[in-house]
Amino acid sequence: MAVDVVILGLGYVGLPLAREATRAGLSVLGFDVNQALADSLNAGRSHVDDLTDEDIAAMIGSGFRATTDEREIAGAAAAVICVPTPLAEGDGPDLRAVTGATEAIGRNMCRGTLVVLESTTYPGTTDEVVRPLLEKLSGLTAGIDFNLAFSPERIDPGNERFGAANTPKVVGGYTPGCTDRAAEFYGRFVDTVVRTRGTREAETAKLLENTYRHVNIALVNEMARFCHELDIDLWDVIRAASTKPFGFQAFYPGPGVGGHCIPIDPNYLSHNVRTRLGYPFRFVELAQEINATMPAYVARRAQNILNEAGLATNGANVLLLGVTYKADIADERESPAIPLARDLHGLGAKLGYHDPHVDNWQPGVDVVRVDDLHSAVAQADLVILVQSHRDYDADSLAAKAKRFFDTRGVTRGDDAFRL
């Protein structure tokens, strides 16, 4: 059956996009290589934070269906690729999912199809990797027989204010005609479409956004270390600086960066600059170094807090609160809680964790899941607030704890040690 769009990759990015397109009245098919996922979506179950089972049921009611049969791609007017782009050995992107999805499209597309890549990747991927594959497998020519564009995904999981419809969508086509076609497509369900000169500008815009966050988080993380030594309250510093109505945006220190975007994507750019031009993208490499060493810094501070109380970390009961990479969501990917747990375990701590969003956390070292938050907080030698989920009343937990280390700067009273 012909559909307006097939979305390839039904994860944190693809599924909200499918919902938005469905809501706007487009007929949407979902394609994924994971049969169990397709089955569970077709049975009305959501696996991402931003969509409930009711949302999936509403999508199915509007004609959405998930499939693993690539032949069904043939009937789609547009194909949007939202598959993962993890890091490969040597810090370049692992493009296997992108090439796999592109090949599935190339084998099945027809004249007139619009193909859009949304996965974050290095500049040039759409033109140098996706286009030749599509042309070879379909026998068609981009810009003449079919349209090709890059449009970076900007989803912010857990953000209740900005979703797929009201976040402006950047679109860059292989030709101006491709840009027009992609802009017209997204204009059907996104409020604002922003055009770039070509695919490389759209690819690089996404990497600039993520690199900007990475670098600014590293800046405050580096400041957190020396402000602590100098007895300066950095949280108060940031609060004061934020009152400047222009030219300043607040970023906050923390136990490290996580998720797919911040710790990983800027590496695509630095890897690309290094391999193509032979020199480093120094800001990214420095930010990477600073942010990646934050879990070890937090572990050392935890060791010092215990030491001041005459306790050895070896044998101490340490409770980690919140282990996801971001507040109020269940995504554990690249969470700094994982290296932190490993570092503390290496120092001999006995670890417990509590997280309302994570039932079975496996950081690769022994951790005991805690259900009774309040009694576990009272009993632990040290409680570390790693992720400040809204379920946690940090001040009241800090008042109950023997020692409370707040790595997020959310406590207001004097009961906590702050990063």
Amino acid at 65: R
CB 171 within 8 A of CB 183: yes
Cα–Cα dist 342/347, whole Å: 9
Stretch that binds ligand NAD, among 11-19, 57-65, 181-189, 389-397 (CB under 6 A): 11-19
Could you give the C-alpha distances from 395 to 72, 231, 392, in angstroms and in order? 54, 21, 9
Kindly state the smallest distance separating residue 97's Cβ from ligand NAD, in Å: 4
Strands 317-321 and 382-385: what pairing?
parallel
Whole-number Å distance between alpha carbons of 262 and 130: 24
**Is the CB of residue 205 less than 8 Å from the CB of residue 152?**
yes
Q: Which is nearer to ligand NAD, 262 or 377 (CB)?
A: 262
Q: Which residues are catalytic?
A: 261
66 binds ligand NAD (CB under 6 A): no
Contact range with ligand NAD by CB under 6 A, out of 33-41, 197-205, 296-304, 348-356: 33-41
The answer to whether the beta carbons of residues 186 and 193 sit under 8 Å apart is yes
Nearer to ligand NAD, 85 or 267 (CB): 85
Give the Cα separation of 258 and 335 in Å (integer). Answer: 4
Could you give the 3-state DSSP secondary structure of residue 29?
strand
Print the binding letters for residues 241-280 with ligand NAD: x by CB under 6 A, - otherwise: -------------------xx-------------------
The residues facing 115 across adjacent strands are 79, 148
In angstroms, give the least distance from the CB of 286 to ligand NAD. Answer: 22
The binder of ligand NAD chosen from 7, 10, 170, 262 (CB under 6 A): 10
Q: Give the separation between CA 322 and CA 319, rounded to whole angstroms.
A: 10
Binding residue (CB under 6 A) for ligand NAD from 19, 26, 32, 403: 32
Cα–Cα distance measured from residue 287 to residue 299, given in angstroms and rounded to the nearest whole number:
19
Q: Whole-number minimum distance, CB 119 to ligand NAD, in Å?
A: 3
Chain positions 300 to 319 lying near ligand NAD, rule: CB under 6 A, are none
- Total interface residues for ligand NAD by CB under 6 A: 26
State the binding string over 150-169 for ligand NAD (x if CB under 6 A, else -): ---x-x-x------------
Would you tell me which residues interact with ligand NAD (CB under 6 A)?
Answer: 8-14, 31-34, 37, 82-85, 97, 100-101, 119-120, 153, 155, 157, 260-261
